[in-house]
Amino acid sequence: MSEPEIKPRDNLQDHLREVQELLHRHKLVETLVHRQDMPRHDLVEGLVHKQHIQELTTRLDEMHAADIAFILESLPIEERTFVWDLVKAERDGEILLEVSDAVRETLLETMDRDELKAAAGTLDADELADLAPDLPDEVMEDVYQALDLEERAQLRAAMSYDEDAVGALMDFDMVTIRPDIRLEVVLRYLRRFAELPDHTDQLFVANRDEALVGVLPLGKMLVSDPERLVSEIMLTDPVTLRPDDKAEDAANAFERYDLVSAPVVTANNQLMGRVTVDTVVDFIREESEAELLNQAGLREEEDIFAPVLDSVRNRWTWLAINLVTAFVASRVIGLFEGSIEKLVALAALMPIVAGIGGNSGNQTITMIVRAMAMGQVDSNSGKRLLKKEVGVALINGLVWGGLLGVLAWWLYGNAQLGAVMTAATTLNLLLASSMGVVIPMAMQRFGRDPALGSSVMITACTDSGGFFIFLGLATLFLM
């Protein structure tokens, strides 16, 4: 079967609408035919059903696996299951790798043991390692037994590393050559392949002990004299990765050096595999999505069409924390009920102080978390960052707090209220900037994701702190 044509991303929505339209038309016609009272009703209904199924199956066969994954993620569970059943069995494995973890779970639930084994059997060892945590143990045992010795060793190697390590991103499909052969021999060797592994921009040069001694870029090989030896034109100091390196560090290396592929070697420089740019891009996307979810206090990626109870379980932890912090903020306000009763303007102004503090804190914490993800911040940078952010907050507080103070003076004719507004805004911005640095640094120190619930925590600090500072100052100087 020929490879499906890869469509531009702009057409993804068109693909989705087309499938949705076919599904809607299928359901509509099926309903109408089912209601009709006609001769040979079952035959007519069967023919109509087959016609629509064939049309939808043909469209799915023409699509790339990633496009089908996008469509499955965008359909309600009932329609998703219907479309999934129409996908050819030999494509199940690659599509399961493309869909999100949450949607993959719903697809696997519809497959029996034989279907799972068949899907897993189409995957390479490194791909199988990605899917293995979601497969039942008995299925994995059967799949493992069906592998040859080399594939078993590769699978064990890939599964032995944490998901955020280079070893988990490693691909074993690569081309290696010896340094003591002529380029003409290399060209003849490459012509024996039906096609080169994806993203092959360089060949890995290894000695007879399988130790990496250099890399041979394809572009450089093609323009060099075929009679020259590989050792004469290879690059002897390539960018290499270790299997236990952090995947984030590998992603930074790919971005910094514009890499397409990079060899993975052991401490003894033994060539193990390679990491390619497509895997790195997938990792970056998944990390970005996870960071956004963590900032919102979500425990994991969520299927947007998941059952209600599943979504509730995913969201309630940080909602409970937010409820507690909101209650604390309300009790802070309760401490100053008498002051608010005497000067009603306080009730109108205090949300402004809390709101601007929350926005400033979220700006700070976003910058710090991003710098941590880029590897630009460590535990030794805390004091310097805190000093810098306090300076920014002080200037912003004096400028914007001063403006708010003037507006409060103008609205309520009370210069002292304007001064309190300025002071409270400045102090709350100082609190927000400090917490914006302290919270992610503390999370990192305790081995937690710095982005986890960061927006919830910073909002809690600036709300309670802002109310306390503003109402406290108002009680001291206005009552």
Greatest alpha-carbon pair distance for the chain in Å reads 94
Q: Taking a C-beta distance cutoff of 8 angstroms, is the pair 103, 73 a contact?
A: yes
Between 454 and 457, the higher pLDDT residue? 457
pLDDT of residue 53: 81
pLDDT of residue 100: 87
pLDDT of residue 440: 85
pLDDT of residue 169: 93
**403: confidence class by pLDDT, cuts 50, 70, 90:** very high
pLDDT at 333 over 90: no
pLDDT of residue 183: 96
Tokens for 45, please give them.
């209904």
| HSE value, Cβ hemisphere, 13 Å, CA-based, for 238 | 30
Q: Taking a C-beta distance cutoff of 8 angstroms, is the pair 242, 234 a contact?
A: no
pLDDT at 398 over 90: yes
> Over the stretch 41-99, which tens digit does the pLDDT of each residue have?
454 455 556 777 888 888 899 899 999 999 999 999 889 999 999 999 899 999 999 99
Q: Over pLDDT 70: what percentage of the chain?
A: 88
Q: Which of 219-228, 286-295, 435-444 has the highest mean pLDDT?
A: 219-228
**35: confidence class by pLDDT, cuts 50, 70, 90:** low
pLDDT of residue 448: 76
Report how far residue 158's alpha carbon sits from residue 140's, in angstroms, rounded to the nearest whole number. Answer: 14
Backbone angles phi, psi at 99, to 5 degrees: -75, 160
pLDDT at 203 over 90: yes
Report how far residue 115's alpha carbon sits from residue 151's, in angstroms, rounded to the nearest whole number. Answer: 21
| Beta-carbon contacts of residue 313 (< 8 Å; ≥ 6 apart) | none
Tokens for 283, please give them.
């990792």
Between 49 and 415, the higher pLDDT residue? 415
> Over the stretch 131-142, which tens digit does the pLDDT of each residue have?
998 999 999 999
Residues 370-395 as b/e (b if ≥16 CB within 10 A, e otherwise) read ebbbeeebeeebbeebbeebeeebbe
Task: Give mean pLDDT, residues 190-215.
Answer: 95
Report how far residue 400's alpha carbon sits from residue 404's, in angstroms, rounded to the nearest whole number. Answer: 6
Mean model confidence pLDDT for the chain: 85
CA angle 416-417-421, nearest 5°? 120
pLDDT of residue 167: 93
**2: confidence class by pLDDT, cuts 50, 70, 90:** very low
Kindly report the three-state secondary structure assignment for every residue of the chain: CCCCCCCCHHHHHHHHHHHHHHHHHHHHHHHHHHHCCCCCHHHHHHHHHHHHHHHHHHHHHHCCHHHHHHHHHCCCHHHHHHHHHHCCHHHHHHHHHHCCHHHHHHHHCCCCHHHHHHHHHCCCHHHHHHHHHHCCHHHHHHHHHHCCHHHHHHHHHHHCCCCCEHHHHCECCCCEECCCCEHHHHHHHHCCCCCCCCCCCEEEEECCCCEEEEEEEHHHHHCCCCCCEHHHHCECCCCCECCCCEHHHHHHHHHHHCCCEEEEECCCCEEEEEEEHHHHHHHHHHHHHHHHHHHCCCCCCCCCCCCHHHHHHHHHHHHHHHHHHHHHHHHHHHHCHHHHHHCCHHHHHHHHHHHHHHHHHHHHHHHHHHHHHCCCCCHHHHHHHHHHHHHHHHHHHHHHHHHHHHHHHHHHCCHHHHHHHHHHHHHHHHHHHHHHHHHHHHHHHCCCCCCCCHHHHHHHHHHHHHHHHHHHHHHHHHC
Between 448 and 71, the higher pLDDT residue? 71
Backbone angles phi, psi at 214, to 5 degrees: 170, 180
Report how far residue 181's alpha carbon sits from residue 231's, in angstroms, rounded to the nearest whole number. Answer: 8
Task: Give mean pLDDT, residues 430-446.
Answer: 87
pLDDT of residue 453: 67
Q: Which of 35-44, 102-111, 203-212 has the highest mean pLDDT?
A: 203-212
CA distances 292 to 343, 454, 462, Å, are 41, 10, 20
> Over the stretch 421-433, which tens digit does the pLDDT of each residue have?
999 999 999 999 9
> Over the stretch 304-327, which tens digit does the pLDDT of each residue have?
777 777 777 767 776 777 778 788
CA distances 226 to 141, 174, 201, 233, 235, Å, are 48, 22, 18, 11, 17
CA angle 68-74-80, nearest 5°? 70
pLDDT of residue 294: 67
What domains appear along the chain, each with residue ranges and CATH number? 11-164 (1.25.60.10), 176-277 (3.10.580.10), 308-478 (1.10.357.20)
> Over the stretch 144-161, which tens digit does the pLDDT of each residue have?
998 889 889 888 988 889
pLDDT of residue 379: 65
**302: confidence class by pLDDT, cuts 50, 70, 90:** low
**1: confidence class by pLDDT, cuts 50, 70, 90:** very low
> Over the stretch 339-389, which tens digit does the pLDDT of each residue have?
887 788 888 888 899 889 888 888 888 888 877 776 677 667 778 888 899
pLDDT of residue 41: 47
